[in-house]
Amino acid sequence: MEILFWKHKCSNPQFAKIYLRITVDGKRAELGSTNIEINIDDWDATNKQVKRTDPHYTFKNEQLSSMKTDLMAIYNDFLRKKKPFTVQQIKFCYENQDEPTFIQGFDKWLLEVQNDPKRTHGTYVTYKNVREKVLGYLIKKNKHLMYFQDFELSDLLNYRMYLESEAGFADSTIRKHTKTIMQVTRWGRLHKLVPEDNLFGYRVPMEKEKPLINLNQEQFEKLVNHKFKNKSVQEVADVFIVYCRTGFHYQDLKNIKEEYQKAIVKGIDGKEWIYWERIKTQIFAKVPFFKEVDDIITKYGGWENLPIKSNQKMNAWLKVMAAELDFPEKLSVKSGRKTLSDWLLNERGWQKESVRVLLGLKTDKSLDAYAKTDERRVASLENYFSILIYNRIHSCFGWIFHVY
């Protein structure tokens, strides 16, 4: 690395300031003014130092020497890592000698998320949990003091392996952790905490295909008609029926219960609908009142009396319910959303676009996480077109059948 000091003219022609430039492998980086001012004749262009004619030459030359020492230390640190680096990275480290650790950078990003009015408290808590998990991993690997710019793709990949093999996390959770970390590094680059985003260009692997846990129509009817002896199980079953015919997540349904007068509106067909801006997507879900929902709300005397339990308790009681009815043991609150999606797509033959509007989803692709079309949809469409064709023929030639 070449370190070059030179004098740069000031507005006053009698004085000059010393400027600094570094060069690595033929690539330059201008570090700008050193803020050392001298008389224009007091610069030794050969030795690149202040002449003795300056009364403070010793102090000024010590400052220049200190800058050079700092730059060489940074350069040698990069050499010891035995990884490619650029002159811009050396410049960044020199200008940010109080460089944050990765966790400190994560904390700065979290603070911005917390103060962002567009972000919910739940989102902040989710990201904070990721931060705690990452910190635990880095402590285990003795890397918790790692500088922000030293967090590289290999660290992310090792963290993903840790989540899968040691923490036992599902693909969906690993994917969320990965995307959160990538948000942090991208934010760090935009806010100049790091010279570049070391994770730029990495594509997060898609989740492994896994079976969708939902109720088919026969199971759903069995649930609706079954009477449970245990009061808590019956309440959970009733609320789960609402999940299966509205498709809302836990927090959305809880909020609807508290603000049902705002959520229940008259739809374009003149009947009651549920219009609700989903917390996750900020998109309005538009759900018609299906009979099963109306029956449950009537049973409890209104939305305000719907016995919604915490997510944890709900999922625990669902296992008891599933055992009694011989349903899938991994049934959860999310299974209600999947049950609705499957019913609309495959039993009733709705278009994906219509189901997406009902669920408050952004894209048809996001619907794939809840339901897949199968042969039931083909059968329902065949029946639909058979009836349509029959009605068309009958309307045109009905007089023939009437004569005979």
Split at pLDDT 50, 70, 90, the class of 100 is confident
Q: What is the pLDDT of residue 382?
A: 52
The per-residue pLDDT for range 101-153, each reduced to its tens digit, is 899 899 999 999 999 988 888 889 999 999 999 999 999 999 988 889 889 99
Q: Is the pLDDT of residue 59 over 80?
A: yes
262 versus 371: the higher-pLDDT residue is 262
Q: How confident is the model at residue 390 (pLDDT cuts 50, 70, 90)?
A: very low
Taking domain 102-190, whether its CATH number is 3.30.70 is answered by no
Residue the block writes with tokens 């590094």: 185
User: Which numeric CATH code is attached to 217-373?
Assistant: 1.10.443.10
Domain ranges in the chain are 2-95, 102-190, 217-373
What's the confidence (pLDDT) of residue 401? 39
Structure tokens at 338: 């999947």
Q: Is 48 left (phi over 0), alpha (psi -120 to 50) or beta?
A: left
- What is the model's pLDDT at position 404? 38
pLDDT of residue 209: 65
Task: Tell me what the mean pLDDT of segment 213-226 comes to.
Answer: 93
Predicted confidence band of residue 240 (pLDDT cuts 50, 70, 90):
very high
How far apart, in whole angstroms, are the C-alpha atoms of residue 344 and residue 346? 6
- Between CA 66 and CA 72 the distance in angstroms is 10
> Given a cut of 50, is residue 394 above it in pLDDT?
no
pTM: 0.57
- State mean pLDDT over 153-176: 92
352-377: pLDDT as tens digits: 889 998 998 888 778 887 877 777 76
